[in-house]
Structure 1
Amino acid sequence: MGTDTPRSADRVCIVEVAGVALEVSQYAGDIHAPTIVLLHEGLGSVAMWQNFPRRVAAVTRCPVMVYSRRGYGRSAPRAEPYGIDFMHKEALEVLPELLRAIGIKVPVLLGHSDGGSIALIHAAAESVAGVIVMAPHIFVEGVGVNSIAALCDTVDGTNFFARLGRYHNDPQHAFRGWSNIWLSPEFRAWDIRAEIALISAPVMAIQGELDQYGSMAQINGIAEGARGPVELLKLPNCGHSPHRDQTEAVLVGVRSFVNRIGSYSVGAKLGNGRYLEDFVEGEVIISKPYKLSKHEIMTYAESYDPQPIHIDESYASRGPFGGVIASGFQTISLAFRLFVETGYFNDGVSMGGPGMDEVRWLVPVYPDDELTNHVTVLEARRSKSKPDRGILRLGHELRNQKGEICTTGSTVTIVKARTEG
């Protein structure tokens, strides 16, 4: 077996969910940090993660929980074949009950392959602090189906099932159940892009350039469809298992992502606007990134801030910044636009405001910088004279792709209250 087994975890137990015994391993971490829940691939199990869960716990200092789904690892066997909705059932029925049984309220989900799809489906319906997916599936691609079919053609007459038996009580059933549903004609229509559109929690999506089961279209689709911020990590010389093929790069990415979401808003549901009562002082809301082009910089400045450092490339190249930079007024406008695009002010919940305070331009913004607005809820206070509304004060930090804070400022907005309490 691999270098890590369930026995090397800090706690190993069997948890019953709806009368089904599930194998669970837990790794200790900071009790104040969110628990990272690992969701395995279509042929995975607790043991097949090997030492990855412990390394995740070590680099993030978060508690980590791993479990084997029914029919996998040392969990109870499946009594029925997989249906087309097997990932939805796991995400919406089994996983919520398991989290409740263990006492995990708002996890960070880290899923691989089918486990990544389960993580995304769960995040569309439940509160999570963040989602990390490796080689996820959001729709069925021919390359994946062909690779599974090719694998099925090679396993008989080999030691494949003997090797798989090191990780599963019933390797034949685990493999046939997974491969049969993926190769069934009715499964070709499986697609979770509608669920992706409901995800507002931060997402990191990781994909190997050599993945034989899916293309970059999978994680690109997450970035295009999710409502919340999405970070993409595309790894060269990496196949379908980034945590094995590019372990160090994945761990660096996971640690960085978890550090960023540690104090952020968790599980906010967008679409309908957020009323005054929905904002929590101290929470952080992160926008999607936006790449600001040279054309946008110069067009804006020609109309509203026609200084040569913004519109004259020759002049700007000889200046202190070495080239054209964006107008500070443009950057603060962009910061607010990125916040509005989160959807928090949908449905007319914003009633306007008296203005903006403490604007500072700290680092110049250059053409093609990728900018993200990190918004902190500084104050959410109901009006004493008009209880149907209140004052919302937000702190804005526009950051570039290096993490540098370029522009800061605070806005004051009058926001509708849901009730006149």
Structure 2
Amino acid sequence: MNPSSMSRSWWTSANGHADFPLHNLPLGIFTQVDGEPPRPGVALGDSILDLRALDGTGLLSGAAQQAVHACADGTLNGLFALGSGPRRALRERLLALLTEHAPEQAQVAPCLLDRHACSLHLPARVGDYTDFYVGIEHARNVGRLFRPDNPLLPNYKYVPIGYHGRASTVRPSGHPVLRPWGQTLPAGASEPRLGPSARLDFELELGIWLGPGNALGEVVPIGEAAEQVAGFCLLNDWSARDLQAWEYQPLGPFLSKSFITTVSPWVVTPEALMPYRCAQAPRPEGDPAPLPYLLDPEDQARGALDIQLEVLLLTPALREAGMPAERIALSNTQAMYWTVAQLVAHHSVNGCQLQAGDLFGSGTLSGALPGQHGSLLEITEGGKQPLRLSNGETRCFLEDGDEVILRARCHREGLGGLGFGECRGRVLPARG
């Protein structure tokens, strides 16, 4: 179905909704009552469409019904494993049932629940989590802090850089962020000490959910890599910069990244984002072309995404004064030097097995200009230039009680926009 013809729903809260209009239909896992088994749902306006209840009406069949049944264990892993066919079939059936003049309204309406009265959960069991480093402006900004004359290392433009993170500490939006302990080397000291991080930071990233996966030893060709993407979310790769500075050489991040990673709970599908795809930005003159296994003309023509990314900060003082969270960064996914398909192709080129429910982080997505930086490390130039808020407060790094909120929006003339919902986390004091 043409998405522009399906933009209005008989469920009126969806019409014009900033995040969840009819043409979004993101997938998630929710509960209505504490202690009940989680079940699959779809966000629509201010509501959640209970897919299990909808299946009970008899309005689903074939591949669309198969998609819902695959979530019987209370996760989206089974649906991700089926690949794109059942997911697309479910979307098409939901569009037909929810469009403005659908005749099944009386049967579907009881399946729509108040979204704000439900609890959202991690949408899938995360088998493995890989964090990439594809935001080239972030890489340059950070590189300038430590290597002013050579901010990008020689391999950056040849290989999608990444590291393996800790899947066990991925949590959904709203989960508290406990300030981590770890070793740091204070300025002027000759030996490290153990203590709470004093330089806690956020990282603005796009999350990528994978499925169906590949067999061990099997390479995913770049032309087929997009079929491995089950959906997208927002991702905050919280970072303890003082721990990171001491531990990351020679093997990279460890405790400075593994204490928590926050994701938005709704999975925005590739089909919903199709109208917001765009060409990958041409490489600057003098940059090497990707090696053949990473280069596909169709991917270069349509493999990038135009998603506006936003970071807001809500401090305890702003909260107590009844003031809103303050925007501190505005960026875009077009800052990605590599496409999502290139990440999949590279990850599997050595025969690594990808599995349904695996999660990628894009790496911090910053722009080149002030106001577009996706971490405090960049905003404050490593703590040298404090961020000043409208109420007079300053921040070099996050303080206890600070809440970081990530948002994302897409817009296209004639279709309107959609969003991802929020990815938020509030910093709690370190345990003694």
Which TM-score bucket, shorter chain as reference? under 0.3
Higher RCO (CA < 8 A, seq sep 6+):
2
Q: TM-score, normalised by structure 1?
A: 0.23
Higher-helix-fraction structure: 1
Q: TM-score, normalised by structure 2?
A: 0.22
Rg comparison, structure with higher value: 1
